[in-house]
């Protein structure tokens, strides 16, 4: 057996299981994750939308505030869903060219993705899930035991929880960059009766863009030093572990302006 077992891994996982059996802990986690996600969705729209309608930013700010103050996990899910409807209702406005019209007509659809933008988003979310699973394991956390997403066999529920604030910052941003810079075009996709998927050339372009994004450095608003998105994900996984073991009192996830 070759596995770098850590001396505190048992303590961390025991704390994770005990704490995430507590409704109040799951609610605190859900509030922090979803509020940060909605704030980042709002920022992405403000930065990239060509003509964001008046009131959209205010509506998202309201949903973020409501999610942070919700009194149940189901209420947090409700505010997340309302924010997602607003966000993806205006998502196509961040893209240039005719493919944005197709996404606007389809909306966000996953299985199977019907158009190039949906296809790119699905792959981006899958790769972000992979990064979050790896970071949680480095932090000695169990990816399958979540507090916001329901745990089911074969589902990395805690990774799905953890990735929420990073969806707009990494996955959505990569999709916007790829299409707006011409790194992905109609020719990089194969359309069949079973949906729309990337060609080999399209996947190469996508992974080049994803690698650049993961290596992009940002200044952390709490710690005030620069680190890449990949290192930021690992840092936040370790912060969650420290929170679950009681070493830090509260959670705060990365948001950008």
The model's pLDDT over 226-253, given as tens digits with 9 standing for 90+, comes to 899 999 999 999 999 999 999 999 988 9
In what helix (H) or strand (E) does residue 243 lie, and over which residues does it extend? helix 229-244
Q: Are 92 and 100 in contact (CB under 8 A)?
A: yes
**pLDDT tens profile 97-138:** 888 899 999 999 988 999 999 999 999 999 999 999 999 999
**pLDDT tens profile 63-73:** 999 999 999 99
- Average pLDDT of span 33-54: 94
The yes-or-no verdict on residue 224 having pLDDT over 90 is no
The yes-or-no verdict on residue 153 having pLDDT over 90 is no
pTM of the model: 0.92
- Of all residues in the chain, the percent with pLDDT exceeding 70 is 96
Q: Are 103 and 91 in contact (CB under 8 A)?
A: yes
pLDDT of res. 4 = 59
């Amino acid at each position: 057996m070759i596995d770098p077992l850590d001396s505190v891994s048992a303590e961390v996982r025991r704390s994770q299981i005990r704490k995430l059996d507590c409704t109040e802990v799951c609610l605190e986690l859900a509030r922090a994750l979803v509020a940060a996600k909605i704030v980042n969705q709002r920022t992405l729209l403000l930065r990239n939308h060509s003509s964001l309608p008046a009131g959209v930013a205010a509506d998202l700010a309201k949903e973020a505030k409501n999610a942070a103050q919700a009194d149940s996990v189901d209420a947090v899910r409700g505010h997340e869903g309302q924010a997602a409807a607003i966000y993806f209702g205006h998502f196509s406005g961040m893209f240039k060219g005719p493919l944005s019209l197709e996404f606007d007509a389809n909306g966000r659809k996953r299985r199977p993705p019907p158009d190039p933008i949906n296809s790119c988003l699905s792959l981006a979310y899958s790769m972000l899930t992979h990064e979050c699973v790896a970071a949680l394991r480095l932090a000695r956390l169990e990816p399958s035991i979540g507090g916001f997403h329901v745990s089911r066999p074969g589902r990395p529920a805690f990774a799905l929880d953890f990735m929420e604030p990073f969806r707009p910052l990494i996955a959505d941003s990569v999709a916007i960059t790829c299409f707006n810079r011409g790194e992905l075009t109609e020719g990089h996709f194969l359309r069949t009766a079973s949906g729309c998927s990337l060609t080999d050339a399209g996947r190469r372009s996508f992974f080049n863009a994803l690698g650049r994004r993961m290596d992009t450095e940002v200044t952390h608003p709490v710690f005030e030093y620069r680190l890449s998105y990949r290192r930021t994900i690992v840092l936040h996984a370790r912060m969650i572990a420290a929170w679950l073991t009681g070493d830090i009192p509260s959670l705060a996830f990365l948001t950008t302006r």
